[in-house]
Structure 1
Amino acid sequence: MGAKTTSFNEIAERYMRNPERRAGVEAESEKLASAFQLMKAREAAGLSQAELAIRAGVPQSTVNRIEHGANTSFDTMSKLAFALGKKLEVRLA
């Protein structure tokens, strides 16, 4: 008799049953969604990370970190949104 295999979905489902783990995954998902939105807006504006950083008055490394999912302040995100001609929205759902 062969070894039983477990699918990724089965492992993920078991992992997500733990409320603390689920909260952590959801928090990371939100950060990555925000990072993706910033990158999309920057690229749509035809700007490099360095160009956006100059317009926003922040270091280029800050833009890079945010686009890779790092935490940042509301103030920094506001500067970046303004530099892109966008409005920053925060929603509690």
Structure 2
Amino acid sequence: MAKNFSDLVQPILDDPVRAARVAKFADEALQDVIAYQFAELRRGLGIDQEELAKRLGMTQAGVSKLEHSADPKLSTLRKLIEGLGGTLTIHAEIDGRTIRLAHSAAA
């Protein structure tokens, strides 16, 4: 008889070592997706890492490192987005209400 997905996953979640390993892989995958999305945004705007580095007053290697940062600071995200000519806005949605937490003006 076929098992459903939750029946297959439950033994992994019940094992703390395996569950931690799955969480680590999921976190790494999310970081890769974010780095890819940012690079695609930059490329879509026709800006290469060297151009962005000039705009930010840093090296191309520094831009690459920022793009692939595992857990970038809000100030880092703001700097990168403003370097692309954009505005970083962060909102929280709680109980149907939207609250603006941060907003930056384009450079």
SS of alignment partner, residue 58 of structure 2: coil
Partner of 2:46: 46
Question: How much has 1:49 moved relative to structure 2?
Answer: 0.4
* Aligned partner letter, 1:78: R
Question: How much has 1:73 moved relative to structure 2?
Answer: 2.9
8 Å Cα contact 2:66-2:76 kept in structure 1: no
Q: Which protein has the larger Cα radius of gyration, Structure 1 or Structure 2?
A: 2
Question: How much has 1:86 moved relative to structure 2?
Answer: 3.0
The structure showing larger relative contact order (alpha-carbon pairs under 8 Å, at least 6 residues apart) is 1
Structure 2 length as normaliser, TM-score? Answer: 0.57
Higher helix share: 1
| Consecutive unaligned residues in structure 1, runs of 5 or more | 1-12
Task: Give distance in 2, aligned partners of 1:84 and 1:64.
Answer: 14
Task: Give distance in 1, aligned partners of 2:26 and 2:63.
Answer: 22
Q: C-alpha offsets along residues 30-56 of structure 1, whole Å, 9 cap, x if unaligned?
A: 111111111111101111101011212
Task: Give distance in 1, aligned partners of 2:59 and 2:24.
Answer: 28
Q: Which runs of structure 1 show a deviation greater than 2 angstroms over 4 or more consecutive aligned residues?
A: 56-59, 69-74, 85-92
| Consecutive unaligned residues in structure 2, runs of 5 or more | 1-7, 13-17, 93-107
**Matched residue count:** 77
Quickly say closer, same or farther: Cα 1:19–1:90, change in 2 above 3 A.
farther
1:70 equivalent to 2:44? Answer: no
Higher strand share: 2
* Aligned partner letter, 2:34: S
Query: How high is the sequence identity, in percent, across the aligned residues?
Result: 29
Partner of 1:57: 57
Quickly say closer, same or farther: Cα 1:23–1:89, change in 2 above 3 A.
farther
After superposition, the CA RMSD in angstroms is 2.5
